């Protein structure tokens, strides 16, 4: 039977207890992370929505998540999205933080977050495959974030 297989010898008993302990630790660690994430979310308050308006690159640079309201805006193909609710990804310390406050078109085309430009970027040199990728990203941003 299963019980005699698991506890029939001292080695099996020790292995069963060790595996049980490791599974318990993994489960409890996941719960702690989830609870910590929930409490962090409560602390972070989303600012009021930005009114829709044209934005210069200099203005866009102000929305890198480091300002007083911690707002994050990202441009793709000339359209600016308020990505503040994605602050864990695009805010300071996040994996995509270099995109915040910039035109991310080239970075998304190359799958390289460091490929953002500080000035206007002519993306006419992108391949059809890269443009297709950018358009997919733009579609995802349109579904998740507010257009400014």
The pTM assigned to this predicted structure is: 0.70
Same domain assignment for residues 13 and 61: no
Same domain assignment for residues 65 and 138: yes
Same domain assignment for residues 79 and 123: yes
**Domain presence at residue 31:** yes
- Alpha helix (H) ranges present in the chain? 2-7, 10-43, 57-61, 87-90, 105-110, 128-144
Query: Residue 96 sits in a domain of what CATH number?
Result: 3.10.120.10
Question: For residue range 99-134, what is the model confidence (pLDDT) as tens digits?
Answer: 999 999 999 999 999 999 888 889 999 999 999 999
Structural domain span for residue 13: 2-43
Given this model, what pLDDT does residue 60 score?
Answer: 95
Could you tell me which of 42, 39, 41, 71 has the C-alpha nearest to residue 55?
Answer: 71
Whether the per-residue pLDDT at 2 is higher than 90: the answer is no
Question: For residue range 11-32, what is the model confidence (pLDDT) as tens digits?
Answer: 888 888 889 888 988 888 877 7
Read off the tokens for 94. 């996040």
**Domain presence at residue 38:** yes
Read off the tokens for 56. 């210069």
Same domain assignment for residues 28 and 90: no
Buried/exposed 36-51: b ≥16 CB within 10 Å, e otherwise? eeeeeeeeeeeeeebe
């Amino acid at each position: 039977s299963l019980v005699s297989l698991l506890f029939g010898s001292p080695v099996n008993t020790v292995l069963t207890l060790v595996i049980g302990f490791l599974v318990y630790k993994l489960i409890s660690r996941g719960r702690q992370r989830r609870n910590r994430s929930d409490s962090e979310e409560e602390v972070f308050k989303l600012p009021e929505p930005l009114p829709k308006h044209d934005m210069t690159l200099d203005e866009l640079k102000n929305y890198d998540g480091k300002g007083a309201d911690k707002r994050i805006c990202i441009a793709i193909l000339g359209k600016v999205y308020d990505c503040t609710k994605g602050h864990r990804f695009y805010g300071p310390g996040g994996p995509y933080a270099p995109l915040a406050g910039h035109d991310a078109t080239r970075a998304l085309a190359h799958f390289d977050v460091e490929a953002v430009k500080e000035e206007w970027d002519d993306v006419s040199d992108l391949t059809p495959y890269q443009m297709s990728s950018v358009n997919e990203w733009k579609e995802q941003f349109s579904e998740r974030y507010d257009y400014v």
